[in-house]
């Protein structure tokens, strides 16, 4: 009974799971704790396959029967200002598995700017059920127009723990800067803790953790374009980027799935030492032209399932971000009486209303702002 109560508490209070895991790692070491986590998640998945095998895929929001056309751009003015950008509307992709879908799977639904609902939407969401064996596995995907947004990276107040001399001197706020909060659209989690793979990070001209061979690297060029590529392709010029963050090896590159993911029960990517690893995950992707950013959070997915779901949504290049119950999240920032607060875009992901804004985040994260001229 005590184990059941603890399991429920960990899933109800996001801070509890990491606290218990960190204390256990200090006592038992990371590898033993990983084995324990893998065993527990394996039990949960075995139970779900027995108890939920006949469960129908679930929908979480109303989906229009036909995709609404985006509003036309405002008429050009008589001055010499550049014309407004074309409206953003991703192409519907439909279900990944036709026989396993909820109503509206793969249909893009606009996500209004929570602080300015009248502005043309730059974000769209969809739901995909990515696993034939698990109808309860869910992938929530957000597509964003990179021609009209800016993506920023913030080091957590504690993670990734710096391994360089310059990194240990780097001042961390763990917060979104005040100057960016007026144009703020969304935020989402970053990568793994340092001890979980020693994946690298560089920000503000400071390397916190050195890049690691074979790491999938998300980087921002000075011109603003985003890149997803293996470290060996970026290492020689890594100091030229505004920032970069590493993850486990790229799940998809140029539309091709990583060879280690041909097995649906692949054991990499934050994963399992034994058996299935079916957990909450998150991922970051770019389309082939690097004009659309895809970010996803999931429930009960394997590495293969989230990778294939992201590719189905439109991502040609895919990197996995953080995993486990407490860390994947995609949030928006509505206003109430002139004050921003944090809210999960998707049901079942617990966040505090002060996260990223007033309460420093211990782990690194990304946030999205509308370009000053976008849709205005």
Low-confidence ranges of the chain (pLDDT < 70): 1-39, 41-42, 45-46, 49-50, 66-82, 262-276, 373-376
Q: What is the structure's pLDDT at 72?
A: 59
Q: What is the structure's pLDDT at 277?
A: 82
Q: Where are the domains of the chain?
A: 2-58+86-370
Q: What is the structure's pLDDT at 67?
A: 57
Q: What token pair was written down for 38?
A: 């893998």
Q: What is the structure's pLDDT at 16?
A: 47
> In whole angstroms, what is the distance from residue 23 CA to residue 21 CA?
5
> In whole angstroms, what is the distance from residue 257 CA to residue 170 CA?
36
Q: What is the structure's pLDDT at 238?
A: 98
Please answer whether residues 218 and 200 qualify as being in contact, where contact means their C-beta atoms are separated by less than 8 angstroms: no
């Amino acid at each position: 009974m005590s184990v059941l109560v603890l399991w429920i508490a960990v899933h109800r209070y996001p801070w509890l799971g990491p606290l218990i895991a960190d204390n256990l790692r200090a006592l038992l070491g990371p590898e033993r704790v990983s084995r324990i986590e893998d065993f527990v998640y394996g039990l949960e998945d075995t139970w779900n396959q027995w108890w939920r095998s006949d469960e129908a895929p679930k929908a979480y929001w109303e989906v229009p029967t036909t995709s609404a056309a985006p509003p036309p751009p405002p008429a050009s003015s008589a001055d010499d200002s550049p014309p407004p950008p074309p409206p953003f509307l991703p192409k519907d992709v439909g279900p990944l598995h036709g026989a396993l879908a909820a109503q509206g799977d793969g249909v893009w639904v606009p996500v209004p700017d929570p602080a300015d609902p009248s502005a043309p939407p730059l974000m769209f969401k969809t739901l995909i059920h990515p696993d034939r064996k698990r109808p309860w596995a869910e992938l929530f995907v957000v597509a964003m127009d990179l021609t009209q947004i800016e993506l920023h990276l913030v080091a957590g107040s504690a993670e990734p723990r710096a391994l360089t001399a310059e990194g240990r001197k780097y001042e961390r706020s763990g917060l979104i800067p005040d100057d960016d909060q007026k144009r703020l659209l969304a935020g989402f989690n970053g990568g793994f803790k340092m001890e979980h793979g020693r994946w690298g990070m560089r920000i503000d001209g400071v390397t916190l953790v050195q890049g690691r061979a074979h790491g999938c690297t998300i980087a921002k060029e000075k011109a603003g374009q985003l890149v997803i590529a293996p470290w060996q392709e970026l290492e020689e010029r890594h100091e030229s980027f505004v920032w970069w963050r590493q993850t486990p090896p790229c799940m998809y590159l140029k539309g091709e799935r990583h060879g280690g993911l041909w097995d649906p029960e692949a054991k990499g990517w934050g994963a399992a030492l034994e058996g299935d690893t079916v957990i909450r995950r998150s991922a970051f992707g770019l389309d082939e032209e690097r004009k659309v950013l895809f970010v996803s959070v999931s429930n009960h997915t394997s590495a293969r399932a989230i990778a294939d779901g992201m590719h189905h949504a439109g991502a040609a290049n895919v990197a996995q971000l953080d995993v486990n119950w407490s860390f994947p999240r995609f949030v928006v920032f509505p206003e109430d009486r002139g004050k921003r607060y944090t809210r999960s875009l998707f049901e079942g992901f617990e966040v505090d209303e002060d996260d990223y804004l007033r309460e420093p985040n211990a782990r690194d994260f990304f946030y999205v702002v509308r370009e000053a001229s976008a849709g205005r």
